[in-house]
Amino acid sequence: MQLLLTRPDDWHLHLRDGAAMADVLAHSARVFARAVVMPNLRPPVTTAAAAAAYRRRILDALPRAAGFQPLMTLYLTDLTPVDEIAAAVAGGVVVGVKLYPAGATTNSDAGVTDIERVRPVLEAMAELGLPLLVHGEVVDPEVDIFDRERAFIDRVLDPLLHSVPGLRLVFEHITTGDAVRWVLEAPARVAATITPHHLLYDRNAIFAGGISPHLYCLPVLKRERHREALLWAATSGSPRFFLGTDSAPHARSTKEAAHGCAGIFSAHAALELCAEAFEDAGALGALQGFTSQHGADFYGLPRNADTVTLVREPWTVPAAFAFGDGEVVPLRAGETVRWRLAGTSVSR
Ligand code: DOR
Ligand code: ZN
């Protein structure tokens, strides 16, 4: 069996920097035409100039003729000036601004401590039509880690939606049925990305056969009923849901550690894993919308003209890939994936 799809895009990707970036970039560029690149470097990408410089480093590290376009983001801090937003839009390099609640995840220390502090920036973004890309978890230690997305909707996101009219919002890597419902009830200026790992795994997978640090990410995997809600949303054909892999590589040594980092590397098989999830749901017909159409439509970018072909032919994922001076353990390491990328055809 074969599937011919419009070449997909990844609407949420961590590429890191330096030699590690060059290693992971090739995995994304082999299949995706474009990716929204997260700004949580050290130091974070907080200015239009830094975003343009990071974009240049990515382009320089790309394999020849990859035909891959990085779409850049700015990292919002309490101190981001309104002028920086205007500069980013004028420069044409940045497609969105990332909101990390301070302390919510990897390299989020410089994130926003109180949404009120960035209200003028958000109002300017609404005016300019620049989307806010939201890591939707509260950082309140009183809130159970499995409830942090739900609490964020109630405490931050829903009030924000109503208090900044016209602000375009992408609720990133949603993990709960609560988020699915909230997005569906919100106006059309709201969308959400969903990762392959949240479509395929629930929280029990982290503990099956011994604790698996390579299945730890943030927001953490949730109960099975939430996975089912996400799969329903992704396969529903609703244009409000699209693929953001959140592929987030960390060196093996920092994952297999007493305080292992959050992040799952999936770029090597992201589209193939989506095909598995959609096949299991009996919804392969909805795959192209989710991976190749809805995101471009939301961001107001043309859909890709190129195509990719998937064949239903199992292959075994390597135990590790190169990652700078270390290695990264990919999702499904040493296990099989049912679909394989057979080729990419470039139109024109
Ligand atoms: O698991 C995650 N890893 N979640 C995030 O929000 C950040 C990411 C990273 O950068 O490693
Ligand atoms: Zn992310």
Q: Any residues with CB less than 8 A from the CB of 101 and at least 6 apart, and which?
A: 108, 111, 112, 135, 137, 138, 139, 152, 156
Coil, helix or strand at residue 30: coil
| Domain segments of the chain as ranges | 10-303
- Whether residue 179 contacts residue 147, with contact meaning beta carbons closer than 8 Å, is answered with no
pLDDT at 49: 96
Tell me how far the alpha carbon of residue 85 lies from the centroid of ligand 1, in angstroms. Answer: 24
Q: Residue 292: what residue type?
A: S
Tokens of 311: 């064949």
pLDDT band of residue 106 (cuts 50, 70, 90) is confident
What is the best residue among 21, 203, 217, 329 to mutate for testing ligand 1's pocket, by most ligand atoms within 8 Å of CB? 217
Among 62-71, 201-210, 263-272, which stretch is predicted with the lowest mean pLDDT? 62-71
Residues 209-258 have pLDDT tens digits of 999 999 999 999 999 999 999 999 999 999 999 999 999 999 999 999 99
Residues 264-285 have pLDDT tens digits of 999 999 999 999 999 999 999 9
Name the percent of the chain lying above pLDDT 70: 99
- 108 CB under 6 A from ligand 1? no
pLDDT at 292: 98
pLDDT band of residue 63 (cuts 50, 70, 90) is confident
Residues 29-52 have pLDDT tens digits of 999 999 999 999 999 999 999 999
Among 15-29, 96-110, 289-303, which stretch is predicted with the lowest mean pLDDT? 96-110
pLDDT band of residue 348 (cuts 50, 70, 90) is low
* CA distances, 329 to each of 155, 249, 332 (Å): 36, 8, 9
pLDDT band of residue 136 (cuts 50, 70, 90) is very high
Coil, helix or strand at residue 235: helix
**CATH 3.40.50.300 is right for the domain spanning 10-303:** no
Considering the chain, what is the average pLDDT of its residues?
Answer: 97
Helix segments in the chain, DSSP class H: 18-29, 48-61, 82-91, 119-128, 148-152, 158-163, 177-185, 196-200, 204-207, 224-235, 252-255, 270-280, 287-288, 294-299
Tokens 């937003």 appear where? Answer: 85
What's the CA gap between 148 and 156, in Å, rounded? 11
Give the closest ligand to the alpha carbon of residue 15: 1
- 248 CB under 6 A from ligand 1? yes
